[in-house]
Amino acid sequence: MGVTQIMSSIQKGIGDVVGSLMIILCVGAMLGKLIADSGAASKIAGGLIKLFGTKYIQWALVLTAFIVGIPLFYGVGFVLLVPLVITVAARYNLPAVYLGLPTLAALSVTHGFLPPHPSPVALAQQFNANIGLTLFYGILIAIPTIIIAGPIFSVTLKKYTSKPLAIFSSTTMPDDKLPSMLASLSAAFLPVVLIGLDTIITITVPQKNAVTIFIHTIGEPSIAMLISLLISLYTLGVAQGNSIKNMMGPIGDSVKEVSSILLIIAGAGALKQILLDTGMSVELIKPLTNLSLHPLFLAWLIAAILRVSIGSATVAGLTTAGIVAPLIATSGVNPCLMVLATGAGSVFFSHVNDPGFWMFKEYFNLTVKQTFKTWSTMETIVSVAGLIGVFILHYFI
């Protein structure tokens, strides 16, 4: 390829990927920051702990992570929930790893499988999959995957009794300063409700009328996220006595935090386009297609290999999309399931080249060996269980 052609491919690849994700990522970062700073996540966690009781406190934290993990980016969810886990573990004299790893398993699953997270949304765009259906199928797979990689696997974790550093304990907000449970749950779930409603209407009511057009409009992912942010600015901010002016600073900072994610996605988009324009994507899959591998397993395998090699789940997923996307047209595989299979592969065996590995090690004060036995094993279970779930869904649909 000539230099001019290379630059054209890079620009097209960046534009195709980032152009469709910019609003979702930036607004999602704003919403996540608002949920974190307002105390909404703490309110949800406290309510669930009261509901489940101390005997099932682990399940309460897992459910909290699943709820707030849907709209929150992984990094935001990590730094928000881990101090909460450490605080709860100290209060009830339980091993922090025993409570923390299942909680982070829920975050990992939402990050890898469920829109509006960057990788699933970008993969849905690359595979031309319906985001709402991908979200629905993803939740069906996510629930058993979280149970297996979380509470079931955690039975083996009670022996890890290392004390996390005190600096990571969260400061508890007074109850009278927290938003209501309704406002907290609404902020976390409204994007899911709007996108899900659009999917249900699309399936059940094919005719177009004023009502369906309105639902399709508010259910479009970018608009759903924007509506959720605007409502949450009032319910979690203005209604709590906070001014719009005071909220603008932290919300602006949240966009800066997501800029690195946008650059990673842009780079992956450029690489994807080069793979397509040079024909390398076709050449790369030729030896693998001769092995008679199922397209869903092939997508998972390539994503898993890339994940182990480069560490980033997002880059592994998007690079895989550039390689296996041509298979969808020839194989007839459901593109939503291709998104989920690729997402499952992209979280396989996190190790020393993944920042999440080191974050978990440092927050929970573990050795490298212990982190392999806990964190890396959990991520592998999530990946394999997710793949099994994809094949079960493939059998039925």
pLDDT digits (tens, 9 = 90+) for 122-173: 899 889 999 889 999 999 999 999 999 999 999 999 899 988 866 555 556 7
Q: What is the pLDDT of residue 50?
A: 85
- Token pair of 262 as six digits: 């946008």
| Rounded-to-integer distance, Cα 37 and Cα 242, Å | 11
Residue 250 has pLDDT above 80, yes or no: yes
High-pLDDT (> 90) share of the chain, %: 37
Q: What is the pLDDT of residue 279?
A: 79
Which pLDDT belongs to residue 171? 56
Nearest residue to 128 (alpha-carbon basis) of 347, 372, 335, 396? 335
What are 295-349's pLDDT values in tens digits?
999 999 999 988 888 787 888 888 888 888 888 877 889 999 999 999 999 999 9
State whether the Cα torsion 164-165-168-171 is positive or negative: positive
Task: Tell me the mean pLDDT in the region 186-205.
Answer: 82
Say what the pLDDT of residue 347 is. Answer: 95
From the number of C-beta atoms within 10 Å of its C-beta (0-12, 13-18, 19+), residue 159 rates as exposed
Residue 319 contacts by C-beta under 8 Å, 6 or more apart in sequence? Answer: 268, 271, 272, 275, 306
Enumerate residues 6+ apart whose C-beta is below 8 A from 322: 126, 268, 271, 272, 273, 275, 276, 281
Q: Picking from 285-289, 309-313, 350-354, which range would have the lowest pLDDT averaged per residue? A: 285-289
For the four alpha carbons of 305, 310, 311 and 316, in that order, the dihedral sign comes to: negative
Q: Is the pLDDT of residue 103 over 90?
A: yes
Answer whether residue 13 shows pLDDT above 80: yes
Q: Please provide the DSSP assignment of 53-86 as one string.
A: -GGGHHHHHHHHHHHHHTTS-HHHHHHHHHHHHH
Structural domain for 139, as ranges: 3-396
The most confident of 81-85, 221-225, 339-343, by mean pLDDT = 339-343
Of the pLDDT bands very low, low, confident and very high (cuts 50, 70, 90), residue 256 is confident
User: What is the count of structural domains for the chain?
Assistant: 1
Residue 268, pLDDT above cutoff 90 = no
pTM: 0.76
CA atoms within 13 A on the CB side of 303: 35
In this prediction, residue 76 has a pLDDT band, given cuts at 50, 70 and 90, of low
Q: Which tens digit of pLDDT belongs to each residue from 31-56?
A: 878 887 888 877 887 888 888 888 89
pLDDT band, very low/low/confident/very high, at 229 (cuts 50, 70, 90): very high
Look at residue 115 in the predicted model and tell me its pLDDT. 82
CA distance 49 to 325: 43
Of all residues in the chain, the percent with pLDDT exceeding 70 is 94
* pLDDT > 70? residue 369: yes
* Per-residue pLDDT, 284: 65
268 vs 365, higher pLDDT = 365
Does a cis peptide bond (omega within 30 degrees of 0) precede residue 151?
no
pLDDT reported for residue 166: 62
pLDDT recorded at residue 165: 64
| Whether residue 118 has pLDDT greater than 90 | no
Higher confidence at residue 172 or residue 389? 389
Interval 275-293 mean pLDDT? 73
**pLDDT, the chain, mean:** 86
Contacting residues for 150 by C-beta, under 8 A, at least 6 apart: 58, 62, 101, 102, 103, 105, 106, 378
CA-to-CA distance for 116 and 20, rounded, in angstroms? 12
Q: Is the pLDDT of residue 270 over 80?
A: yes
pLDDT given at position 287: 76
